[in-house]
Amino acid sequence: GDSVTQMEGPVTLSEEAFLTINCTYTATGYPSLFWYVQYPGEGLQLLLKATKADDKGSNKGFEATYRKETTSFHLEKGSVQVSDSAVYFCALSASNDMRFGAGTRLTVKP
Amino acid sequence: NAGVTQTPKFRILKIGQSMTLQCTQDMNHNYMYWYRQDPGMGLKLIYYSVGAGITDKGEVPNGYNVSRSTTEDFPLRLELAAPSQTSVYFCASSYSAQGLRETQYFGPGTRLLVL
């Protein structure tokens, strides 16, 4: 079945550092790809998404590009802030299925 | 506009007890979902619904039941609680014309402990 594998954490960075969280997927069709973020004590919220190959999703300085050739959707941000500390989930969806990665906890220190 | 609301926030159950987790959305979304999140793991889809009266199984449906009598409500029922059902449960909703591909909006979660 479809699956998502994302970089294990936790990840600890200093403020203004560059962030990459790797995500690769396995899917039989052409899924949509998402990054969701979960702040402490809250539910998940969408960070960005891409629906087809070569699409780039972006939001709040975060970016990810749907790469079909490498089956990847890596999350990047050029300069992280303390407020970016959260758990980040990569996810894919097909027409009747939804799969999440295990999550990567990011801590940004001042 | 409250979005997706879930009750209760936290519950302790004894093995064999039953309970219903409530979920309500006020965004007129057609799709609704139930997930469980185990420590250090991603979310796993339990059940979803494409509209009132229609439900379907997700990846981990065993031990749970759902119903969808209205657009707004999607309760999750545990009939015989087991320790393996200790988890955080999230309800979500989306408006979709193409399956599960659209952005989902999540509730704050219900933490369930089965002892």
Is the CB of A100 less than 8 angstroms away from the CB of B104? no
* Alpha-carbon distance B42 to nearest alpha carbon in chain A (angstroms): 4
Tell me which residues of chain B have a C-beta less than 8 Å from any C-beta of chain A. Answer: 4, 33, 40-45, 48, 56, 58-59, 90, 92, 98-101, 103-109
Nearest CB to A95; choose among B40, B42, B99:
B99
- Residues 22-61 of chain A with CB under 8 A from chain B are 31-32, 34, 41-46, 49, 51
Dihedral (CA of A103, B89, B44, B97) sign: negative
Q: Taking 80 as the threshold, does the pLDDT of residue B51 lie above it?
A: yes
- Percentage of chain B surpassing pLDDT 70? 99
Q: pLDDT under 50 in chain A at which residues? A: none
The stretch B83-92 carries a mean pLDDT of 96
On chain A, the residues whose CB falls within 8 A of the CB of B41 are 102-103
Looking at residue B1, what is its pLDDT? 67
- Which residue spans within B1-106 are E strands per DSSP? 4-7, 10-13, 19-25, 31-37, 43-51, 54-57, 64-66, 76-78, 87-94, 105-106
β-pair partners for A88: A37, A104
Gap between the Cα atoms of B6 and B22, Å rounded: 6
Q: Is A94 on the interface with B (CB under 8 A)?
A: yes
Residue A1: what pLDDT? 81
Cα of A90 to nearest chain B Cα, Å: 9
Residues A53 and A67: beta-carbon distance below 8 Å: yes
Predicted confidence (pLDDT) per residue in B4-35, tens digit: 999 999 999 999 999 999 999 999 999 999 99
Which of B63, B73, B67, B69 is closest to B18 using CA atoms?
B63
The beta-carbon neighbor of B101 closest among A42, A93, A102 is A93
Cross-chain residue pair A32–B101, CB shorter than 8 Å = yes
